[in-house]
Amino acid sequence: MTLAPTPINSLIEQKQQELRDLVQYPEEKLTSIIRGVGFKCDLCSRCCTEEFNDHVFLLDADTATIKQIDAFALTPAPYFEFCDQHGRFYVSGYALKSKPDGSCYFLEGGRCRIYSRRLSICRVYPYMLHREADESGNVDWRQVSGLDEHGCYHTEIGDVEAREIAKETKNYEKAFLEQEINFLKAINTHFTKNGLRHIQKVYDRQMRLYQKGGSIEVCVYYSGTFEKNVLPAE
């Protein structure tokens, strides 16, 4: 089926192209980069803070895990994608709440309280595989986050371990893009069916209201539906 050229459909096509590019990225190349960088965690726990990583985005499977452990830890991921004419925001998933000091809700005494059930992004970090602009604006594939800013480097990583990391990193990025594509498709259907449209002016007005302490409604995409959240939490 050919999609009509609406802005949301263009975004879907763009994400689908990103997904095709990702699938074609050679796993061998990523494996070799992982071995070359030789990253080893030194348990500094900086990656579990807002100062280092803006937020912990959750794939649907991660949200399901957190709902079992402690649903209070969930919050709509920041940077809502859309806002309809009634002032309702829409975002592609949940994130973990942070504590007032900016550390992750689950970080305690420098250690993760849910390490044995840690989330997809926490498992693959600091590895990544997506195109991003560097400080000079050059867009290219990025494979390691926060390079030389934390942890140890040039340690020995065996071939089998590096291959596993490469595979898991690619799978994570694939699941992330698929969630984004499914979200955009769900938005397209929901907006069309209910006569809704994204209005940037309303988005900006509602954000100003929220920043001044007002309350907003955020529909979070989870498991094929939109869950209503009210911020600040009621």
- The count of chain residues that interact with ligand SF4, using the rule CB under 6 A, is 11
Binding to ligand SF4 by CB under 6 A, coded x per residue (else -) over 188-207, reads: --------------------
3-class secondary structure per residue, the chain: CCCCCCHHHHHHHHHHHHHHHHHHCCHHHHHHHHHHHCCECCCCCHHHECCCCCCCECCHHHHHHHHHHHHHHEEECCCCCEEECCCEEEECCEEECECCCCEECCEECCEECCHHHCCHHHHHCCEEEEEEECCCCCEEEEEECCCCCCCECCCCCCHHHHHHHHHHHHHHHHHHHHHHHHHHHHHHHHHHHHCCCECHHHHHHHHHHHHCCCCEEEEEEECCEEEEEEECCC
Our CB check for ligand SF4 shows the closer of 35 and 118 to be 118
Our CB check for ligand SF4 shows the closer of 12 and 96 to be 96
Binding to ligand SF4 by CB under 6 A, coded x per residue (else -) over 41-70, reads: -------x-------x--------------
Our CB check for ligand SF4 shows the closer of 122 and 177 to be 122
Nearest distance, CB of residue 111 and ligand SF4, angstroms = 8
If one asks whether residue 77 binds ligand SF4 (CB under 6 A), the answer comes out as no
Binding to ligand SF4 by CB under 6 A, coded x per residue (else -) over 99-138, reads: -----x-xx----x-x---xx--x----------------
Site residues, ligand SF4 (CB under 6 A): 48, 56, 96, 104, 106-107, 112, 114, 118-119, 122
